[in-house]
């Protein structure tokens, strides 16, 4: 694949569908990535973020659904006052999306179960496979591991006629009944291996990297191979540079769908009251593009209404945890659209993103311009000496 040609087509199509004018202002990777980070002894003042708490709707933007979604966030807060969601909630739920017919996916799943069953419960959402394959995927011989699987079945939407691909975000509603029972939720593709991933360090850094600010509501780890479009999620970007050796976490405006980690109540709200407006378009276009460009933008508004964060500057919405070992991306490329019709896949994705922007214009992340993501790191980062490992508590 000629990446220069692909990026040129990407920019051209984006402008055709009404993308932002800022794209193309800089190269994908800044010439000196390390210069974006100050020395450990320096303190960097936070940029003043946009106040997302009170979105307004004008006659020209009747499709804006931010206010309606935040109304439901307020209702969730009222429910929390009547229902104790404290000590009885478990720590971690891991949701895995998989094709039950894939032996590689099954082996990867069982390896992850064996490694993390002491700490997490698993919800296995199957998007393809007949009854025999589903039974084989869900029935684990090890009884202790089997007890950690709280959900394993094929998603109802995956039987939708006339659709070759079911976008991954449309599988998220399978988790709704479980999310109130957990503090944290990690979503992961079937080709993610956690064999070298240190989950305890990941959770601890997520908790305390920016103390005394509250923990961000969304986090992401690093990937071991350079398979992703953005370099800031690559392990080598951080760990081959001596300038970044003390950095354990960094603020970001984009957390990808590959392996995002959420505050469970935020994810519950996002599935039920944000994604609901874009489901039909995502299914029609058969693309999973969209939600990861908007969930970081919606965090501050949610945190204000549910967790009573008074000012946007009082919390960092999303972070990338860089101070621990990466997860492994086996890159099985299970989505057929990526393998056979990549150009159409990109165009469909951009159209879906435009649909999201129509509904939630104030929450959009400027993900088209990678320099925006990189320079946003300058205003907030976590360093090792400020974050003693807390094991698994107090996770809020």
Distances in Å between the Cα of 170 and the Cα atoms of 126, 188, 237, 262, 346 are 12, 14, 32, 17, 18
In 3D space, the residue among 309, 354, 306 whose CA is nearest the CA of residue 69 turns out to be: 306
Greater pLDDT, 222 or 144 = 222
Cα of 273 vs its chain's centroid, Å? 17
d(CA 158, CA 98): 12
φ and ψ of 123, to 5 deg? -115, 115
Residues 381 and 36: beta-carbon distance below 8 Å: no
Distances (CA, A) of 190 to 96, 128, 255, 337, 368: 6, 12, 18, 17, 26
Looking at residue 12, its pLDDT comes to: 41
- Let me know the angle formed at the C-alpha of 192 by 186 and 193, rounded to the nearest 5 degrees: 105
Of 51, 31, 10, nearest to 304 by C-alpha is 51
**Least confident piece of the model among 112-126, 264-278, 313-327:** 313-327
pLDDT per residue over 292-321, tens digit each? 889 988 998 898 888 888 887 788 899 999
Contact 146, 155 (CB under 8 A): no
pLDDT of 70 higher than 70: yes
d(CA 89, CA 45): 36
Token code pair at residue 360: 């939630």
pLDDT at 387: 65
Q: What's the rounded Cα separation, in Å, for the pair 175 and 157?
A: 13
> What is residue 380's three-state secondary structure?
coil
| Structure tokens given for 116 | 């993390």
Which residues, at least 6 apart from 3, have a Cβ–Cβ distance to it below 8 Å? none
- Domains, the chain, in order of start with CATH, read 32-386 (3.90.550.10)
Beta strands 182-189 and 90-99, pairing class: parallel
Instruction: Give pLDDT, residue 85.
Output: 52
| Number of continuous H segments (helices) and E segments (strands) in the chain | 13, 11
Query: What pLDDT score does 184 carry?
Result: 96
Element housing 59 (H / E):
none
Residue 33 has pLDDT above 70, yes or no: no
Beta 247-251 vs 182-189: how paired, if at all? Answer: unpaired
Q: What percent of the chain has pLDDT over 70?
A: 68
3-class DSSP state for residue 70? helix
């Amino acid at each position: 694949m000629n990446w220069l040609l692909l990026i040129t087509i990407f920019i051209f199509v984006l402008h055709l569908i009404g993308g932002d004018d800022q794209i193309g202002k800089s190269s994908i990777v800044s010439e000196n990535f390390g210069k974006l980070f100050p020395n450990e002894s320096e303190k960097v003042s936070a940029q003043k973020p946009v106040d997302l708490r009170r979105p307004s709707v004008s006659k020209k933007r009747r499709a804006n659904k931010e206010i309606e979604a935040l109304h439901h966030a307020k209702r969730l807060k009222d429910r929390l006052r009547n229902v104790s969601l404290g000590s009885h909630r478990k720590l971690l739920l891991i949701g895995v999306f998989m094709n039950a017919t894939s032996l590689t996916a099954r082996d990867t799943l069982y390896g992850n179960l064996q490694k993390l069953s002491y700490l997490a419960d698993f919800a296995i959402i199957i998007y393809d496979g007949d009854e025999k394959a589903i039974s084989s995927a869900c029935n684990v011989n090890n009884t202790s591991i089997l007890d950690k699987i709280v959900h394993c079945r094929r998603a109802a939407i995956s039987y939708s006629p006339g659709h070759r691909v079911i976008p991954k975000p449309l599988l998220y509603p399978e988790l709704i009944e479980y999310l109130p029972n957990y503090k944290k939720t990690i979503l992961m593709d079937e080709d993610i291996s956690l064999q070298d991933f240190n989950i305890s360090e990941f959770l601890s850094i997520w908790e305390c990297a920016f103390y005394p600010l509250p923990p961000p509501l969304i986090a992401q780890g690093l990937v071991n191979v350079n398979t992703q479009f953005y370099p800031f999620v690559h392990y080598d970007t951080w760990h081959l540079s001596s300038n970044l050796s003390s950095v354990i976490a960094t603020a970001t405006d984009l957390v990808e769908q590959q392996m995002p980690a959420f505050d469970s109540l935020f994810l519950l709200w996002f599935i039920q009251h944000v994604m609901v407006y874009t489901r039909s378009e995502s299914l029609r276009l058969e693309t999973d593009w969209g939600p990861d460009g908007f969930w970081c933008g919606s965090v501050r508004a949610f945190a204000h209404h549910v967790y009573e964060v008074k000012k946007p500057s009082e919390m960092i919405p999303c972070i990338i945890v860089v101070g621990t070992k990466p997860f492994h991306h086996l890159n099985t490329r299970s989505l057929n659209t990526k393998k056979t019709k990549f150009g159409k896949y990109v165009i469909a994705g951009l159209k879906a993103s435009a649909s999201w922007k129509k509904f939630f214009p104030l929450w959009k992340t400027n993900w088209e311009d990678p320099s925006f993501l990189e320079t946003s790191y300058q205003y907030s980062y976590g360093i090792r000496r400020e974050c003693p490992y807390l094991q698994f508590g107090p996770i809020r």
